[in-house]
Amino acid sequence: MQITVDHVIRFLERAAALIREHATELTELDTVIGDADHGTNLNRGFSAVVVKLDALQDGDIGTILDVTGKTLLATVGGAAGPLYGTAFRRAGALLAGRHAIEGADIAAALEVALEGIIERGRVQRGEKTMLDAIAPGVETFRSAIAEGKSLEEAARCALAAVEEGMRATIPMQATKGRAAFLGPRSIGHQDPGATSAYYIACAMVGLNVDPPSDQNEAQLS
Amino acid sequence: MVGILIVAHSERLASGVKEFADQATHGQVPIVAVGGAVDGSLGISTEAIRDGLRRVASNDGVLVLVDFTSAALSVEAVLEDEPAMRVVISNAPLVEGAYLAAVEASVGATLEETAAAALRGRDLVKVQSDRRIRYQ
């Protein structure tokens, strides 16, 4: 199966819709261990991305992802802006000029996006951040594609890994971001960044999830 | 002269720090303060950072002072598109760092010297340990 410009635009529209739908939940998670703006910030950013999508229908996948990254960077307003912004821009640079991509291209794009987040945030796994959800997803996806699994199957496995990674942030103690100020009191709360990463991954896979659970049926497109 | 960019999540916070640093240097040092997200709420606007960097940039370089890490990440992301700019993002505390950096820059110090001066803000002793206020 090939992923086209149209798929990428629909992914971004779904991501924006899921972030909007879950903005309050994301902000509430951020109220407990952060500065209470994650949902509001990301909703502002992804809403701005959606406005730009119409003008990008004739663009290539790389351009769409680059514009998405630049827009998130310019409009989100918190740490998630430079982190997601860098991730989308790195993926966009890798896929510059492409109008159709396959599993291996997506795996490579996810890999450079992940590296962008690590570099920008100087973050490691286990620090209770979005990386704890994203990294296992990227690794799972890459392995699945390398094993010759279909794009749909690889995406399904990756989403399960992202969800598991998101839940695994609950018992972690934060050492990065505003949550680190809480020290051990950050333990027991799910990381908002890992949660928004999960919703973006849901959009990528094409699931409409509310609330996150194992009960949802795949609606792959 | 080295320029100084102050980046905070609040416009009032950033402007207040600039006001303080301007007073110490009689406005001789190019200092720009940016704060707040695009809609004016608490946050960071990378467009404002980009504009601010351009306004204070010169061959002598720019020292950036930030309130929190997310401000530093935003500046770094902007700098990806500005490879020619000489910029140091300081790890100094915002108020002390901006004040010390402005004084240093005002006497014609280099970017490295200005950055070192800002970092000394981390070691300022404000209250001697033997001075206790007794509440009755």
For residue range A128-168, list pLDDT tens digits in order. Answer: 999 999 999 999 999 999 999 999 999 999 999 999 999 99
Task: Provide the residue range defining the domain that includes A168.
Answer: 3-205
Q: Which range, of A75-89, A108-122, A172-186, B57-71, averages the lowest pLDDT? A: A172-186
- For residue A79, what is the nearest residue in chain B, using CA coordinates? B70
The answer to whether the Cα torsion of B8, B9, B15, B19 is positive or negative is: negative
| A212 domain-assigned | no
Pairwise CB contact (< 8 Å): A74 & B37: no
For the B3-123 domain, the top CATH level (class) is alpha beta
Nearest to A81 among B42, B44, B68 (CB): B44
Mean pLDDT of B85-95: 97
pLDDT at A209: 55
pLDDT at position B136: 54
Residue numbers in A near B45 (CB within 8 A): 74, 77
Q: Minimal CA–CA distance to A117: which of A143, A147, A146, A137? A: A137
Instruction: Find, among B73, B63, B59, the residue nearest to B5 by Cα.
Output: B63
pLDDT (0 to 100) of residue A195? 97
Test A78 with B70 for CB contact under 8 angstroms.
yes
- Rg (C-alpha) for chain A, rounded Å, is 16
Report the 10 Å Cβ neighbour count for A191: 31
Question: Between chains, do A79 and B45 touch, taking CB under 8 Å as contact?
Answer: no
Quote the number of domains for chain A.
1
Rounded-to-integer distance, Cα B49 and Cα B71, Å:
9
B89 strand-pairing partners: B64
**Alpha carbon B78 to its chain's center:** 16
Nearest chain A residue to B76, by CA: A120
Q: How much of chain A, in percent, has pLDDT values that exceed 90? A: 85
Strands (E), B9-125: 31-35, 62-66, 87-89
| pLDDT class of A34 with cuts at 50, 70, 90 | confident
Chain A nearest-CA residue for B50: A74
Closest residue in A to B36 (Cα) is: A77
What pLDDT, on the 0 to 100 scale, is given for residue B127?
82
* CATH code, A130: 1.25.40.340
Q: What is the mean pLDDT of chain B?
A: 94
Residue of B nearest to A72 (CA): B46
Cα–Cα distance measured from residue A70 to residue A68, given in angstroms and rounded to the nearest whole number? 6
- Residue A13 corresponds to which amino acid? E
Which of these, A46, A64, A72, lies nearest to A6 by C-alpha position?
A: A64
Task: Give the pLDDT of residue A35.
Answer: 85
A202 CA to chain B: closest CA distance, Å? 26
* Nearest chain B Cα distance for residue A41, angstroms: 9
How many angstroms separate the Cα of B14 from the Cα of each of A29, A181, B44? 28, 22, 11
Say yes or no for a CB contact (<8 Å) between B70 and A177: yes
Tell me the residues of A at the B interface, defined by beta carbons under 8 Å apart: 35, 37, 40-41, 44, 73-79, 81-83, 85-86, 89, 120-121, 176-178
Residue A220 belongs to some domain of the structure: no
Would you call B69 and A83 a contact, using CB atoms and an 8 Å cutoff? no
Given a cut of 80, is residue A203 above it in pLDDT?
yes
| Backbone phi, psi, residue B14, to 5° | -60, -45
Upstream peptide bond of A211 is cis (omega within 30 degrees of 0): yes
Look at residue A62 and tell me whether its pLDDT is greater than 90: yes
Q: Do the Cβ atoms of A120 and B76 come within 8 Å?
A: yes
Q: Tell me which residue in B42, B43, B77 faces A73 most closely, judged by beta carbons.
A: B77
Spatial CA neighbour of B18 closest among B69, B47, B56: B56
**Of B14, B19, B18, B20, whose CA–CA distance to B44 is shortest?**
B14
pTM for this model (two decimals): 0.89
Residue A95: inside a domain = yes
Asked if residue A38 belongs to a domain, the reply is: yes
Q: CA angle at residue A186 from A180 to A187, to 5 degrees?
A: 130
B44 neighbourhood in chain A, CB within 8 Å = 77-78, 81
Cβ contacts of B34 on chain A, cutoff 8 Å: none
Instruction: Tell me the β-bridge partners of B5.
Output: B32, B64
Alpha carbons A205 and A103: distance in angstroms, whole number: 12
Nearest CB to B70: which of A75, A79, A86?
A: A79
Alpha-carbon gap: A71 to the closest alpha carbon of chain B (Å):
10
